[in-house]
Each structure stands twice: as structure tokens, then as C-alpha cells.
């Protein structure tokens, strides 16, 4: 099938490449000329495990192409996926300007009965607006469909090629049939292809993300209470997770969720509810709780150093909003860095893949370290913000030697606090208070 992805970011590039891998003829279109040039030179603009090899293989086979030219990308495409960003606008709502521009730019070149599919996360009602934007520029007959994307960065290829379900919202059964054909290779393990109305499909994506964000804010709140009352959130998590009605997934306490989806999607749904006269109290609280949670490590540092961080050096391990991605959008690390700099600290940071993205965002306000051990040199404390695998079993004796004082604030509960006390560290996790350090 001839397919065009409009928007070649995390979603458009991953899903377009996976469609090419299953034998389709895919064109990825983007307005970012440097991104397209890089892809045409064989580079990949984002870090996503396994993606580079797939892009190379399918480009070499001629099934995957990159362009900035709407006319050539749209003319022969049977399916056109809109995968452009839908960031938050000044009011908290989703900003649809990129979606509108994609719709208007493709319109003059659409072929008869093409299917225009919105994969971007958009508020209920947007797909119908997309149809209106297109109709304002062409008389060609086309079909529309909503096809929300559920992939997670860091495991995007697996999520897309082995989905739990595919959701498609349509008016016309013919559009659903075409999409079912396209998704067939990914649904061979009998995972459901769910066909619903367009408004329901749009709502499903927001409801899913808001549920997951709610679970995170819930467990973070439980963790904060645990700390105050002397309970251990790891033990509490075990005790509740075995209840089949609750389960374990998305119940890891931490320093707040970030990324390009949860924060903006929670706010966008709350904003949509408000436009319809509803106060989405749960969503507003989830967002507030999350914003507050991003300050948790800073608060702990302030308590530990008796309210004065001036002249201290703090190492940060992990900058991306989660492991296995270089995405730093709304990352908790950025809030921590900002707080530390404002408090007069020197900050040394390490991340396996996100250093350059942070440098682009904040410049030389912090020291960038190629190895996580380098960040410990002369540090008064380490803050662990992202749970990269390479942080799980470090050489603690070596770290202690490098640090000015053996203090670790762990935002991801990577270590055993008894063992950390025995190793001579002041160690505090989230939902775990520090134990007295044992004499070494
Ligand atoms: N990133 C995720 O994990 C994820 C998961 C599911 C859904 N989504 C949703 O998918 C959408 C895209 O997210 P993303 O993370 O891939 O965004 P992104 O910012 O990584 O990529 C968007 C791309 O669209 C391009 N673009 C903007 N306007 C354009 C236009 N008019 N024509 C052609 N290209 C244009 C940009 O240059 C950019 O390369 C968003 O709505 C997001 O909420 C994202």
C-alpha cells in the first residue's frame, strides 16, 4: 500500500518505518528541512532502540523515503497519516495549528478516496475539523479516520508491532477495512482491531493517558504519605499490587511523569471538559500533584543541607524523562536543574543519550559529564532522576571515594536502603525515609 506520514517525529518516523518493514511503500514528509536532510543522508534524528537499523534497511530497500514536498508525497498515497505535534497552547488546550496546516497543505493533492487518518492526539471533534479544513481546499472525495497511537518512547517499535489493541474511529466501513488490511501483520496474535465512532476514538486516547497519569500521581501521593508515617512504599506496592483489581503496572513512585504526552494530554482533556462546562477535578489534581512531585528531590536536598545549598555541588544521573529515549520534553530533571541553579549550586549532569538535547535547551549552565562516575567528582550529593539500567549496580566504593560527602537522593528507588546504609551512604528514596548510616 502507498502510505504517507505527515510529521516525521517520534510517532511518524517509528510508525512509518514499521509500515515500510511490513512491505508498504512509505513516504515520510516533514516541514523540518534539516531533519529530512539528515534522514536522507542515512541519519536518524531521535534515539529509539532498534530504529536506526530498521530505517536503514527499509530506506536501502526503497520502501521508505523522506521528503519536504507535499505534492509528490500526497499525489499517489492511499493512506495519509497525520502525525504532527499537538503541543499545549497558552490556555492548556491542544494547539491544532500543525494539524490544520497539514490538512490544508495536503488537500490540493489528494487522490480520489484517499483515507486521511489522524494519529496525532487531538481533542474530540478535531477529526471533523480536519475534514472541513480539507474540504475548504478541494472537491476530491476522501475518507477520514481517527487512529490514536499508544506506543511508548523507549519501546516504540515493540509497542507498535505488537500492540495490545488497534483503535480506529470511522464513519465509513470502507476506511476501517483499508486500515484493518494495513494493520493485519501486527495483529497476528489475535489482538483486537477495535472499530468505533470517530469521537470515541479521539476520547479513548485521552482517557488512556489520563488513567495512566492518574496511577502515577496516586502512587506518588502514597509514597509521600509513607515517608511521613514511617511506611515503606516498596512494601506497600507489593501488598496492593497482588490485588488483581489493582495490579503492578504504572505503580512505581518517582519524581513525576514528564514527556510529550501525559502532561499536555491531562491538561488538554481538562481544558476540553471546561469548554463543555465541566470541572475535571481529578485531572486538575493529577496535574498539580505531578508538578509538585517534580520538586521532591530538591526539597529533600534542602532538608538535608539545612536550607542552604549555596556553593554545593550536586550530580544528576539521568536527564531524559524516562530511560531508553533522548526526549527531555517536560522532564523532571529540568525542574531539578532549575531549582538547584536558583539555590546557588554547581550542577554536574550525566545521561547516556540526552546530554545534547539538554545542552540545546539550557546551554552551559551545568557541567556535562560523559560518564556517570565523572559527575560524582567532588559532589555533595547525587540525585538519580531517570532509571537507566547502567545506574542499577554501580561501584559504590568508587563513588564514595569521588564524592565530597556520600549522599544519594534516589528518585527511582533503585537501591536497597539497608545495604546503602551499610555502605556508608545517607540514602533516601521516594516513599522511603533514610536509615541511619552505619559506621564504616
Ligand atoms: N511521542 C510519543 O510517545 C507519542 C505517543 C503517542 C501519541 N503521540 C502523539 O503524536 C503526535 C506527534 O507526537 P511526536 O512526539 O511524534 O511529535 P514530534 O514533535 O516528535 O514530531 C512532530 C513532527 O511534525 C512535524 N511537522 C509539524 N508541522 C508539520 C506540517 N504542517 N507538515 C509536515 N510536518 C510537520 C515537525 O517538524 C516534527 O518533526 C502528538 O499529537 C502526540 O501527542 C506521541
Fold of 294-428: Rossmann fold (3.40.50)
Give the per-residue pLDDT at 436.
81
Ligand 1 atom nearest the C-alpha of 101 is 31
In degrees, rounded to 5, the angle at the alpha carbon of residue 188 between the alpha carbons of residues 183 and 190 is: 105
The whole-number pLDDT of residue 435 equals 80
DSSP H or E run through 237: helix 233-241
CA of 236 to the centre of ligand 1 (A): 38
Q: What ranges do the domains of the chain cover?
A: 2-196, 206-292, 294-428
The residue count for the chain: 440
Ligand 1, residue 45: give the atom nearest the CA.
39
Q: Model-level pTM? A: 0.95
User: Is 261 a known active-site residue?
Assistant: yes
Look at residue 409 and give its three-state secondary structure: strand
84 lines ligand 1 (CB under 6 A): yes
Determine if residue 277 is left, alpha or beta; phi over 0 gives left, psi from -120 to 50 gives alpha, anything else beta.
left
- Burial of 365-395, coded b for 16+ CB within 10 Å and e otherwise, reads ebebbeebbebbeebbbbbbbbbbeebeebe
Which CATH code for domain 206-292? 1.10.1040.10
Task: Give long-range contacts, CB 8 A cutoff, 24+ apart: 277-282.
Answer: 282/214
| Secondary structure (3-state) at 417 | helix
Query: Block means of pLDDT (10 residues each) for the chain, length 440 residues?
Result: 98 98 98 98 96 98 98 98 96 96 98 98 97 98 98 96 98 98 95 98 98 98 96 96 96 96 97 97 98 98 97 98 96 98 98 98 97 98 98 98 97 96 96 78
Q: CATH number of the domain at 2-196, out of 3.40.50.720, 3.40.50.970, 3.30.9.10, 3.40.50.300?
A: 3.40.50.720
- Exposure of 60 by Cβ count < 10 A (0-12 exposed, 13-18 middle, 19+ buried)? exposed
Cα dihedral 46, 52, 56, 57 in deg (nearest 10): -140
Residue 11 CA: nearest ligand 1 atom is 16
Ligand 1 centroid to Cα of residue 92, in Å, is 18
Q: Do 2-196 and 294-428 show the same overall fold?
A: yes
- Maximum Cα–Cα distance across the chain: 80
Measured from the CA of 10, which atom of ligand 1 is nearest? 16
Q: What is the pLDDT of residue 440?
A: 64
**d(CA 6, ligand 1 centre) in Å:** 9
Q: Whose Cα sits closest to atom 5 in ligand 1?
A: 151
Query: CA 305 to CA 426: how far, in whole Å?
Result: 12
Q: Is the minimum distance from the CB of 387 to ligand 1 under 6 angstroms? A: no
**Which residues make Cβ contacts (< 8 Å) with residue 395, sequence separation at least 6?**
373
What b/e readout covers 251-278, taking b as 16+ CB neighbours within 10 angstroms? bbbbbbbbbbbbbbbbbbbbbbbbeeee
7 lines ligand 1 (CB under 6 A): yes
| From 18, 28, 261, 383, the catalytic residue | 261
Nearest alpha carbon, ligand 1 atom 6: 149
260 lines ligand 1 (CB under 6 A): yes
- Regarding the beta carbon of 261 and ligand 1, being less than 6 Å apart is answered yes
Amino acid at each position: 500500500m502507498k502510505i504517507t506520514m505527515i510529521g516525521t517525529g517520534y510517532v511518524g518516523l517509528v510508525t512509518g518505518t514499521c509500515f515500510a518493514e511490513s512491505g508498504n511503500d512509505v513516504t515520510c514528509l516533514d516541514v523540518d528541512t534539516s531533519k529530512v536532510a539528515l534522514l536522507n543522508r542515512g541519519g536518524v534524528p531521535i534515539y529509539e532502540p532498534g530504529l536506526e537499523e530498521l530505517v536503514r534497511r527499509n530506506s536501502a530497500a526503497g520502501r521508505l523515503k523522506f521528503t519536504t514536498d507535499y505534492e509528490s508525497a500526497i499525489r499517489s498515497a492511499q493512506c495519509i497519516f497525520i502525525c504532527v505535534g499537538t503541543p499545549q497552547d497558552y490556555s492548556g488546550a491542544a494547539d491544532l495549528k500543525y494539524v490544520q496546516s497539514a490538512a490544508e497543505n495536503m488537500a490540493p493533492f489528494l487522490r480520489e478516496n484517499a483515507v486521511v487518518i489522524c494519529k496525532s492526539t487531538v481533542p474530540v471533534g478535531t477529526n471533523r475539523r480536519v475534514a472541513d479544513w480539507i474540504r475548504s481546499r478541494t472537491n476530491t472525495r476522501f475518507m477520514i479516520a481517527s487512529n490514536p497511537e499508544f506506543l511508548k518512547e523507549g519501546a516504540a517499535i515493540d509497542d507498535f508491532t505488537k500492540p495490545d489493541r488497534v483503535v480506529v474511529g470511522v464513519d465509513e466501513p470502507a476506511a476501517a477495512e483499508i486500515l484493518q488490511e494495513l494493520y493485519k501483520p501486527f495483529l497476528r496474535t489475535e489482538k483486537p482491531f477495535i472499530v468505533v465512532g470517530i469521537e470515541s476514538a479521539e476520547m479513548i486516547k485521552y482517557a488512556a493517558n489520563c488513567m495512566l497519569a492518574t496511577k502515577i500521581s496516586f502512587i506518588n501521593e502514597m509514597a509521600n504519605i509513607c515517608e511521613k508515617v514511617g511506611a515503606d512504599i516498596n512494601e506497600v506496592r507489593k501488598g496492593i499490587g497482588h490485588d488483581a483489581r489493582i495490579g503492578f503496572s504504572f505503580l512505581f513512585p518517582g519524581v513525576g511523569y514528564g514527556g510529550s504526552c501525559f502532561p499536555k494530554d491531562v491538561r488538554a482533556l481538562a481544558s476540553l471538559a471546561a469548554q463543555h462546562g465541566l470541572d475535571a477535578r481529578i485531572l486538575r489534581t493529577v496535574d498539580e500533584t505531578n508538578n509538585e512531585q517534580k520538586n521532591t528531590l530538591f526539597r529533600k536536598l534542602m532538608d538535608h543541607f539545612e536550607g542552604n545549598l549555596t556553593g554545593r555541588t550536586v550530580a544528576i544521573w539521568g536527564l531524559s524523562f524516562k530511560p531508553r529515549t533522548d526526549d527531555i520534553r517536560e522532564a523532571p530533571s529540568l525542574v531539578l536543574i532549575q531549582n538547584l541553579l536558583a539555590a546557588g549550586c554547581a550542577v554536574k549532569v550525566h545521561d547516556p543519550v540526552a546530554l545534547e538535547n539538554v545542552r540545546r535547551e539550557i546551554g552551559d549552565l551545568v557541567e556535562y559529564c560523559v560518564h556517570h562516575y565523572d559527575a560524582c567528582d567532588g559532589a555533595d550529593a547525587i540525585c538519580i532522576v531517570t532509571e537507566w539500567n547502567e545506574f542499577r549496580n554501580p561501584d559504590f566504593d568508587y563513588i564514595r571515594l569521588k564524592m565530597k560527602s556520600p549522599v544519594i537522593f534516589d528518585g527511582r528507588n533503585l537501591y536497597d536502603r539497608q545495604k546503602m546504609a551499610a555502605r556508608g551512604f545517607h540514602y533516601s528514596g521516594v516513599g522511603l525515609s533514610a536509615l541511619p548510616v552505619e559506621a564504616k
